[in-house]
Amino acid sequence: MRFKTIVAILQNEQDAERVLDYALPLAERFESHLVGIHA
């Protein structure tokens, strides 16, 4: 299965770094778009 778009929820600066540490490699692995949403 291939993910075309991955959404990362970024709630604050500390969480953003941790979330992106996982989301970026995942998006690269599946050749997906990564969308960050600041909530």
The domains of the chain are located at: 5-38
- Model pLDDT for residues 1-39, shown as the tens digit of each residue: 777 999 999 999 888 999 999 999 999 999 999 999 997
Per-residue pLDDT, 2? 75
Non-local CB neighbours of 35 within 8 Å, separated by 6+ positions: 5, 6, 7, 8
Beta bridge partners of 7: 35
> Which pLDDT value is given to residue 33?
97
Say what the pLDDT of residue 28 is.
95
Strands (E), the chain: 5-10, 33-38
Answer whether 13's CB lies under 8 Å from 36's CB: no
